[in-house]
Amino acid sequence: MSKQLIVSIVSILSVFLLATASAQEQFIVKGKIEFEKKVNLHKQLESEEDATWRDMMKKMVPAVKNTYFDLYFDNNKTIYKPGREVVTTLKAPEWFDGPANDNIVYSDLAQQSTISQKTVFDEVFNVQDSVRKIDWKITPDTRTIAGIECRKATAIIMDTVFVIAFYADQVVTPGGPESFAGLPGMILGLAVPRLYTTWFATKLELVDVKETVLIPPKKGKKTNLGNLKTQLKPSMKDWGKMGAKNMLQVSI
């Protein structure tokens, strides 16, 4: 074999190996994502008809409430749970925050099952259900989130609730914050306009995720989402618009 031929073969192999390595680097199958959840509390108050009460509450609560959650993922399993705490001088009263603000959500996307721990006022529920089926409409719009290019998708859930999501096909796990999933990649940005609430990834860490992390929550009274909503509906109907908001928060 001639020297020139050997050099050509080595060059071709080098290019192939570099291309293969580059392709492998494009796809992420495990890691940790931090989400910042923002709730515009003053916007939520604008729907209240009692102007005196509305103005009083605006003085008592921050305009925007920020909390952080961590989502760990490994292939088709994810767990979403409260993350680092935010120190603030102005906090909303617990009754104003409403239920299901510190959810732990475990999803097995291969089995299409999910187990969520939800605190609804003073009671903890262990909600076992199937992964929510969402008819996503993918658009050509893009947005960079946490340094990763994402595509935009929209959907209607629960018949009337409009949702906007941004997913990264580079992160192959088809999950997302809370109970949202079903896109061809990880959801890194999410907005539910009716709740004036958004979830956006602040960073993605390529860390090894231990099996002891990806386990479903066990605390709470076992139920499913349908039964939980049926149980809450009689008490929530007397709360007016706040009751409707609370039911939606529980359903998310």
Confidence (pLDDT) at 208 = 94
* Dist CA 199 CA 146 (whole Å): 12
pLDDT tens digit sequence for 221-249:
999 999 999 999 988 888 888 888 889 99
* CB-based contact 186:29 (threshold 8 Å): no
Residues forming beta bridges with residue 105, ordered by sequence position: 80, 116
Buried-state track 98-136, b at ≥16 Cβ within 10 A, e below 16? bbbbebbbbbebeeeebbbbbbbeeeebbbebebbebeb
pLDDT tens digit sequence for 86-115:
877 777 777 777 899 999 999 999 999 999
Domains in the chain: how many in total?
A: 1
User: Does 237 reside within a domain?
Assistant: yes
pLDDT tens digit sequence for 1-14:
554 544 343 344 44
* Dist CA 124 CA 104 (whole Å): 11
Residue numbers of the domain that contains 153: 27-251
User: Does 15 reside within a domain?
Assistant: no
* Dist CA 212 CA 57 (whole Å): 42
User: Does 9 reside within a domain?
Assistant: no
Question: Domain with 74 in it: what CATH number?
Answer: 2.50.20
**Chain CA centroid to CA 73, Å:** 12
User: Does 4 reside within a domain?
Assistant: no
pLDDT at 252 over 70: yes
User: Does 218 reside within a domain?
Assistant: yes
